[in-house]
């Protein structure tokens, strides 16, 4: 029987496709009854039948695991919905064989497999690429050609469509949807998310984010995304779990222009990646894809790893004396950054200091910077690139007036497809980033903040995607010129800043959501971006370390955000940042504000004596350990299935374990990642030894019985 199976497998590979790395006997399954292509990359194998229906397998510990449903065929890998034309399957001709060709490009040398299918007048060429540098990943794309005599109106073009069999799963969802929505979550219930990757309409969400989703079970995970460094205004990354538990990941293009006779439409450059563990490996792989195409995160300066105080505890009207008054306390606590937050300016877009707070010439702002510098502190300035206010709108801070830049240059504004002024965050108008004059204006603003006023960096806030621009005065080749040019604006800010101050810090905050991939190379400090509770802090740190590098500077945001009580920010959980290798921050008020703050919840920001003892203790631990610049080891633990939850940071060849639970935990802690040897396990907060463990070469990770409430931070000290 074994000889028969082996002979069939060899015959199948010879007749169809057998890449050099494919085993002699592929996994059995219905898709192999009429396979049109069989492609393997490392531990991932994909088969397509003649209707382009995919079947996936993943190899783990020498065994192949079928990932696709086995009770029914999967939907096609590619599909096109055409208005006025009944749907049907693309069919690979009987007897047609895939072609193979060598590749060389940004991802190195590789191999392409091409499969051609037809449906009526449409021809679909499917390309499956594999590269030795990306074992476990298949790059999937297609071209759709109209062979008819009339234009075809495409309602949608569905791509890289992968359905996975039912299993207990967790998910990472990359699109920036709306503030506070979890993007790492359990897929315990039936749900669907469209995951629009363009700019959301004003007041209806965020926009942009990362063009990939990942789902994983205890045995295997699968990510689907696109690898392009560009922004797409009509792209989606839908994720769905049906009532049976099956999960579908895909990419889609919608709102497409008619496909003319003889014309071709290229799909998004998709990919499928299979892995063990949680989303960390998939996002790290995506990071390498971007880096290979020039989108590589910079190396942060040492100052990016230092603790932060932000004036937002005082909200929109932080005065000079309130911020200078706190400087003494910041030095005593060991914090090194002061952030001048929202509403220091008169009008969005002009970015001139408020006369009521900083004097007629803005001299108060320069005084603040000088005073901070004399105390040994560095200062960031909060602002939002590209936005301008126009009369007739308002935000919580103030009623808008026409900004000078909007008055003088109305021709710079983005217009929507109806010819009206496009609106972005906070109902603000937007300058078109594709215009050279706008880039020059942003350059001048950056010079003003860094060179003339003396700031040491930026807190660029509420940064999402930019909508398409239909302003005829701009003479764009495409309305998408605007969203694609957002990266150039961020590059202008970053490069100008670091020419003036090489050690400057540029933080970009996509409030409450994932960062947009197009501007990742133009910041040297990421932020967990308004997390709602400690769990979001920890999960977002893991994401950002995967996305930007295991040594990258990630700010855990204000510690007050780690817990909410009836809407009030009352968090005190510094461990959520320290134990994951993030920078700590706070927004306390001190001395006690002499005025009533607009949001009564902010009254909880006052640093009373009890809080000061707590803050002092934990900031000291943060500074002593210096884990923010350590190496994050996200591959060691699964954030979805491992309990307790564990994060590992390696600093000076010593592994530090951040261990977390909801409430009390008593049980065994498995200490992964240790080299052979003997170790003393020390609680570095309480400075208390918990025991010793022995690691044997080739043996299982050691286990240590522990007991704690909420968190335990330990280091494994090598013993000679």
Alpha carbon distance 295, 229 (integer Å) = 7
**Rounded distance, CA 664 to CA 711, Å?**
9
Tell me whether residue 240 is exposed, middle or buried, using C-beta atoms within 10 angstroms of its C-beta: 0 to 12, 13 to 18, 19 or more.
middle
Strand ranges (DSSP E) for 414-456?
429-430
Q: Are 648 and 632 in contact (CB under 8 A)?
A: yes
Q: CA–CA separation, 462 vs 62, rounded Å?
A: 47
Q: State pLDDT tens for residues 668-694.
A: 999 999 999 999 999 999 999 999 999
With vertex at residue 514, the alpha carbon angle to CA 510 and CA 515, rounded to the nearest 5 degrees, is: 60
The values of phi and psi at residue 705, to 5°, are: -75, 130
pLDDT on residue 603: 62
Quote the crossing angle between the two packed helices 280-292 and 534-548, to the nearest 10°: 40
pLDDT > 90? residue 372? yes
Structure letter (DSSP) for residue 33: G
pLDDT at 1: 40
As a whole number, mean pLDDT of residues 480-490 equals: 97
What confidence tens digit (pLDDT) does each residue in 112-128 have?
999 999 999 999 999 99
Query: Mean pLDDT, to the nearest integer, of 626-640?
Result: 98
Which tokens sit at 409? 């240059």
Q: What is the mean pLDDT of residues 81-95?
A: 84
Whether residue 599 is predicted with pLDDT greater than 80 in this model: the reply is: no
Three-state SS sequence of 178-232: CCCCCCEEECCCCEEECCECCECCCCCCCECEEEEEEEECCCCEEEEEECCCCCC
pLDDT mean across residues, the chain: 93
By C-alpha distance, which of 546, 78, 53 is closest to 275? 546
Please report which confidence band the pLDDT of residue 711 belongs to, taking 50, 70 and 90 as the band edges: very high
pLDDT of 8 above 60: no
Each residue's pLDDT tens digit, 353-370: 999 999 988 899 999 999
* pLDDT > 80? residue 231: yes
Length of the chain: 720
Q: Residue 597: its pLDDT value, please?
A: 76
Beta bridge pairs of residue 164: 247
**With bands split at pLDDT 50, 70 and 90, how would you rate the model's confidence at 602?**
low
Residue 567 has a pLDDT of 85
Could you give the angle at which helices 320-333 and 609-625 cross, rounded to 10 degrees?
A: 60
Query: CA 697 to CA 678: how far, in whole Å?
Result: 11
- The Cα 157–Cα 145 span in angstroms is 12
What are residue 45's DSSP bridge partners?
A: 40, 57
Q: What pLDDT does 6 receive?
A: 44
Question: Residue 111 in 3-state DSSP?
Answer: strand
Q: What pLDDT score was predicted for residue 5? A: 38
Q: State if pTM tops 0.85.
A: yes
Furthest CA-CA distance within the chain: 91
pLDDT > 90 in the chain, percent: 87
Q: How distant, in Å, are the alpha carbons of 69, 173, 390 from that of 401?
A: 58, 38, 5
> Which value, to the nearest 10 degrees, does the dihedral of the CA atoms of residues 397, 456, 523, 193 take?
-20
Q: Would you give the distance in Å from CA 492 to the centre of its chain? A: 22
Mean pLDDT is lowest, of 583-587, 596-600, 612-616, 643-647, for: 596-600
Confirm if 526 and 555 have CB atoms less than 8 A apart.
yes
Residue-wise pLDDT tens digits, 547-572: 999 999 999 999 999 999 988 899 99
CA 476 – CA 434 distance, rounded (Å): 8
Packing angle, helices 481-500 and 436-447, rounded to 10: 30
Residue range 608-613: mean pLDDT, rounded:
96
């Amino acid at each position: 029987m074994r000889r028969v199976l082996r002979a069939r497998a060899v015959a199948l590979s010879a007749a169809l496709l057998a890449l050099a790395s494919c085993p002699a006997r592929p996994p059995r399954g219905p898709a192999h009854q009429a396979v049109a292509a069989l492609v393997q990359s490392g531990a991932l194998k994909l088969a397509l039948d003649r209707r382009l229906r995919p079947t996936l397998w993943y190899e783990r510990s020498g065994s192949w695991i079928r990932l696709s449903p086995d009770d029914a065929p999967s939907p096609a890998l590619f599909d096109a919905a055409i208005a006025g034309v009944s749907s049907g399957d693309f069919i690979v001709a009987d007897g047609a064989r895939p072609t193979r060709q060598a590749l060389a490009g940004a991802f190195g040398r590789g191999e392409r497999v091409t499969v051609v299918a037809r449906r009526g007048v449409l021809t679909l060429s499917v390309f499956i690429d594999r590269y030795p540098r990306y074992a476990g990943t298949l790059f999937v794309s297609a071209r759709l050609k109209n062979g008819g005599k009339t234009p075809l109106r495409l309602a949608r073009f569905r791509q890289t469509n992968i359905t996975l069999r039912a299993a207990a799963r967790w998910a990472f969802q990359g699109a920036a949807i709306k503030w506070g929505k979890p993007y790492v979550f359990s897929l315990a219930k039936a749900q669907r998310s469209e995951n629009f990757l363009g700019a959301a309409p004003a007041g209806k969400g965020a926009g942009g984010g990362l063009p990939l989703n990942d789902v994983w079970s205890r045995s295997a995970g699968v990510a689907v995304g696109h690898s392009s460094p560009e922004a797409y205004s009509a792209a989606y990354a839908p994720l769905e779990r049906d009532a049976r538990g099956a999960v579908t990941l895909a990419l889609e293009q919608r709102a497409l222009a008619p496909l003319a006779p003889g014309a071709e439409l290229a799909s998004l450059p998709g990919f499928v990646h299979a892995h063990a563990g949680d989303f960390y490996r998939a996002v790290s792989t995506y990071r390498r894809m971007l880096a290979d195409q020039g989108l590589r995160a910079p190396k942060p300066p040492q100052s990016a790893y230092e603790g932060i105080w932000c004036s937002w505890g005082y909200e929109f009207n932080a005065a000079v004396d309130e911020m200078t008054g706190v400087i003494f306390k910041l030095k005593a606590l060991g914090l090194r950054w002061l952030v001048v937050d929202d509403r220091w300016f008169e009008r969005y877009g002009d970015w001139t200091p408020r006369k009521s707070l900083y004097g007629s010439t803005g001299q108060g702002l320069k005084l603040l910077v000088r005073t901070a510098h004399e105390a040994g502190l560095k200062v960031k300035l909060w602002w939002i690139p590209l936005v301008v206010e126009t009369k007739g709108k308002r935000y919580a801070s103030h009623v808008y007036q026409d900004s000078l830049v909007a008055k003088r240059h109305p021709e710079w504004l983005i217009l929507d497809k109806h010819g009206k002024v496009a609106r972005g965050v906070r109902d603000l108008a937007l300058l078109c980033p594709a215009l050279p004059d706008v880039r020059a204006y942003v350059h001048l603003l950056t010079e003003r903040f860094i060179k003339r006023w003396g700031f040491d960096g930026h807190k660029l806030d509420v940064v999402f995607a930019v909508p398409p621009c239909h302003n005829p005065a701009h003479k764009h080749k495409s309305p998408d010129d605007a969203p694609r040019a957002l990266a150039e604006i961020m590059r202008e800010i970053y490069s100008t800043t670091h020419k003036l101050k090489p050690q400057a810090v540029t933080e970009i905050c996509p409030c409450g959501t994932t960062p947009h991939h197009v501007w990742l190379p133009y910041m040297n400090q990421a932020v967990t971006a308004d997390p709602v509770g400690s769990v979001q802090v920890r999960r977002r740190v893991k994401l950002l370390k995967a996305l930007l590098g295991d040594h990258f500077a990630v700010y855990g945001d204000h510690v007050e955000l780690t817990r909410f009580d009836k809407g009030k920010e009352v968090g005190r959980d510094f461990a959520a940042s320290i134990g994951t290798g993030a920078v700590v921050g706070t927004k306390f008020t001190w001395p006690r504000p002499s005025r009533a703050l607009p949001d009564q919840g902010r009254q909880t920001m006052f640093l009373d004596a009890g809080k000061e003892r707590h803050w002092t203790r934990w900031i000291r631990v943060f500074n002593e350990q210096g884990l923010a610049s350590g190496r994050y080891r996200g591959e060691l633990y699964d954030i979805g299935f491992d309990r307790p939850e564990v994060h590992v940071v390696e600093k000076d060849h010593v592994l530090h374990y951040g261990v977390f639970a909801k409430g009390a935990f008593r049980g065994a802690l498995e200490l992964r990642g240790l080299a052979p040897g003997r170790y003393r396990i020390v609680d570095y907060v309480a400075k208390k030894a918990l025991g010793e463990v022995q690691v044997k070469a080739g043996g299982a990770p050691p286990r240590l019985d522990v007991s704690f409430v909420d968190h335990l931070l330990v280091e494994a000290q090598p013993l000679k």
